[in-house]
Amino acid sequence: MSDFPTTEILAAITHRPWPLPAGPWIMTQSWHDLLFAHWPVGVRELREQVPVGLELDLFEGQAYIGVIPFHMTNVAPRGVPSVPFVSAFAELNVRTYVTVGGKPGIYFFSLDANSTIAVSAARTLFHLPYFLASMTVDVGEVEVSYRSRRTSDTRQAELACAYRPVGPTYHARRGSLDWFLTERYCLYTLDSSNHVCRLEIHHAQWPLQRAEARFEINTMAEAAGLRLPSVAPVLHFARRQDMVAWPLFRL
């Protein structure tokens, strides 16, 4: 993990909505060539798909669902070097936003990855809904071509798209929609006993760019029981984000 800037990450804290968690962080990840694609969805429709105990987090009364393709490196426990073919793989998230105990965070409907080890470990250790998928990511000079097809589930869940950044890099303004959709510092899931659990993370503020995207196939939300509206999504791009994470704990 020679390229992982741990000191710089932990020093950048003024943007955080609450202090860093107590206790040592346990793992690292670097996210690359990431697209935030968000669509507005009906609150009632979304509420039916989110577990009881998680309050929907809305922006000016509107709920959002995100489809987030990217690829990762430096996926490793603290103090363990990155290992080729284990610490780097593609990932695709479908998520919405919830809040528990005054801490807004992310709820994942699904996380697809092309790593058997990552899928098995995340399901076992973090109770996250990971699925194995066949995935290809082609990062060109102008745009990223991304394809994913879920292989470990009977429901069709496929994404084929191309996206690219447009415009300069910027930081979201606190209180804006950009901030609401991107600046999240914990996630929520349910353990095997259906208790709500929180996993805290930390990273520098997102280096965002506006984005353009073409979606050839996108059935990721439908696999989660949700239908995307026929409107243009809100799009953001980030070239790289490095993060650290703390242990999952039951609330």
What is the tens place of the pLDDT at every residue in 91-103? 999 999 999 999 9
At which residue do the structure tokens 């992310």 appear? Answer: 106
Q: What distance in Å separates the CA atoms of residue 121 and residue 40, rounded to the nearest whole number?
A: 32
Categorize the per-residue pLDDT at 80 as very low, low, confident or very high, splitting at 50, 70 and 90: confident
Categorize the per-residue pLDDT at 248 as very low, low, confident or very high, splitting at 50, 70 and 90: very high
Tell me the domains of the chain and their CATH numbers.
Answer: 6-13+27-250 (2.40.400.10)
According to the model, what pLDDT value does residue 1 have? 46
Residue 107: both structure tokens together: 């709820």
3-class SS string, 29-75 = EEEEEEEEEEEEECHHHHHCCCCCCCEECCECCEEEEEEEEEEEEEE
pTM here is: 0.95
Amino acid at 56: L
Average pLDDT value for residue range 5-31: 96
Average pLDDT value for residue range 103-110: 98
